[in-house]
Chains A and B, each alone.
Chain A
């Protein structure tokens, strides 16, 4: 596994506020990695340290095996980044912006192809201040691609987008992964992370509180599944299920919560079998990543 991003014990304090404390994570080549957490958790500080915008107090950062703190320019050449807080001059056109940034990255990319890829071919010569929000976002993406980056860093890329634009951006990010690029993004939208990310790290108060594949994290978290089972005939009495809690029996069927879905199902099937009752419908509601993150990030608060 080739590591494209390797962060070790990163720390940064602003006065008394410890924005990032001892954060470590790795992103492998071709992975989409998400930094999750509420506002103020330290996501942006972490990303900006990687990008050389912030000088961290301690820690090591390697981008494509380059020590980014000692050789920032070499590391920057490997990265394409989209931040919320950057902008372009009002009167610059997309074509001029591509030409300028190609120069600043010291490369001669095919800017026309990039403008086409990001749907800007028809507005290539319009002034920046006449572009729509979505076009500005896509121009930021096109500019970020001007150096054909191996690593793409996106800080809350969908925060200000409408659902349609958000879906399009997700398509762009999937295409980046398909091209073998490594993507590191931050978001507080858990659904987005669940859909896009191969792995996530959950940040709370500057620390990583959990790390892993979204599905695994959900499974690993001590979260419960709510189960409703409809039966062909009503049960005489509430069955004793070792792995279930809060069992309720009514005319529609049996309801309970569980942390061991498979086990409880096996138990239930055995009991129903004895009584020759069939299951006519089964509905389960699992926790989402959002619930997991909420639980993780609030658990530390107390």
Chain B
């Protein structure tokens, strides 16, 4: 016991004396949090929705870089060789390494959470669940980190291997980019990395329904972690130099097989593709069909003239993404645009008076064309102006379509997103706005639909999601 405690105490002391370890272990996660906060500041997206990803990145960095870097550099300078001359068994050192790393991870995460709360994040919904989810995440990544330490011959190799895992996991592993924003193939790939399970488990504890909803994810993390730990223990290397022995290679194979099995299990259970659910409101990042926003029982009017108040009342406005989210945002009335964006908004406002697509005779097509002015900047995430354009578009719609007709027209546009032409996309440049082409045109239609619904709510007195 004294061997374990003294080794752990020495490791902790030395970690806090190592400037690089402190920067990577503590400062880097805080900078990452601030970057996230800064990037999403204007979107009014609560930090809580990204906390799963942020905590995952912290664990990932510390376990995939910090842990193996320390271990391999000690091994290279003969410290582990010296340890091996002592009667202390291997497992004591491994337990010490893991306990110390867990402590470092936990403190880094707590400091990160503290800063997030100071920046205005709401308190995690399930604090104890968060601790459990974070522990499982730590186990998975520490297993990964130990395997890297055993496979890498030197510190540069740790960096190279770590990046090979770090970057794909961030980009297509469901960590930095939300799963539902990824193409299907990437979601299948992500099932092989622990990142997505970590994000989902942590997010469920921070802002979701708790750990009950993510039992599979916890199991996946545990399996990945234990496979890594077992393989690392079997491959444990005291000596500096090159990785040899066929035995070692078979243990790596065991770890890889387990990780593959977890991915296949997820496939088999049909857990790979994350379908955005409109009912979840805040988490929506993809746009579903128009039928999602209407009660199924409602009748279908024959033309826009035929639309009744009852039809409009059947729209499920509460399912629309929130105005302060990423999808189809609308600025609150009290909100002022950034001074730098005012000029651009003025160009759009004055340009609309003479914009050819806003003068076509068919009021439905005219509305559709005008809605593109809000839809495309939203699709392109033009953070400074996207939230303010809907109000300008609404003002133009009110001027060009009689008040009695406007709700009916908007209802028709919203329920027929695939109708009409999108030639107006090519005219956006005359307003100083970028256009879109190719398959993105379909996405633009989805945003037109959402804004049609949202402006319908404002013109018909229907419920808004504000």
Contacts and interface: CB of A to CB of B under 8 A. Distances in A.
A79 interface: yes
B77 A51 contact: no
Given A81-B85, A86-B85, A87-B77, A103 B14 contact: no
Nearest to A89: B14
A106 to B, nearest CB: 6
Contact of B10 (A73, A76, A77, A100): A100
A154 to B, nearest CB: 12
B240 to A, nearest CB: 8
A76 B82 CA distance: 12
Contacts of B85: 51-53, 76, 79, 81, 83, 86
Nearest to B81: A86
Contacts of B83: 104
Interface string A9-22: 00000000000000
Nearest to B239: A53
A85 B78 contact: yes
A72 B238 CA distance: 15
Interface stretch (A91-99, A192-200, A279-287): A91-99
Contacts, number: 78
Contacts of B88: 73, 104-106
Nearest to B89: A73
Interface string A46-88: 0000011100000000000000000011101101010101111
A103 B87 contact: no
Interface in A143-169: 143
Given A91-B18, A96-B13, A103-B7, A52 B86 contact: no
A81 B3 CA distance: 19
B299 interface: no
Contacts of B78: 83, 85-87
Interface residues of A, number: 30
Contacts of A52: 84-85
Contact of A76 (B13, B74, B86, B238): B86
Interface of B: 2-3, 5-7, 10, 13-14, 17-18, 74, 77-79, 81-89, 238-240
10 contacts: A51-B85, A74-B87, A85-B78, A86-B78, A87-B78, A88-B77, A89-B14, A89-B79, A100-B10, A143-B82
Interface of A: 51-53, 72-74, 76-77, 79, 81, 83, 85-92, 96, 99-106, 127, 143
Given A86-B79, A104-B6, 12 more contacts: A52-B85, A53-B81, A73-B87, A83-B81, A85-B78, A85-B81, A88-B79, A91-B18, A99-B10, A103-B6, A106-B2, A106-B87
